[in-house]
Amino acid sequence: MSDKEQRSDSANEWTSIFQQIEGQVRREAARAVGVPEDSDWATIGHQTDDAVRTNVAKSAQLPEDADWETIGRHLETSGRSGIARFVGASEEADWATIGQKVEERVKTFLDDLFRSKPAGKADEGPVDPWSPDDQ
> Worst-scoring range by mean pLDDT, 37-41, 45-49, 56-60, 130-134?
130-134
C-beta of residue 106 within 8 angstroms of C-beta of residue 129: yes
Q: What residue ranges do the domains of the chain occupy? A: 8-66
> Please, what is the average pLDDT of the chain?
85
The predicted pLDDT at position 123 comes to 58
The predicted pLDDT at position 133 comes to 62
- Answer positive or negative: Cα dihedral of 77, 80, 85, 86: positive
Give the burial string for 66-95 (b: 16+ CB within 10 Å, else e). Answer: beeeebeebeeeeebbebbeebbbeeebee
- Per-residue pLDDT for 120 more than 70? no
- Per-residue pLDDT for 121 more than 60? no
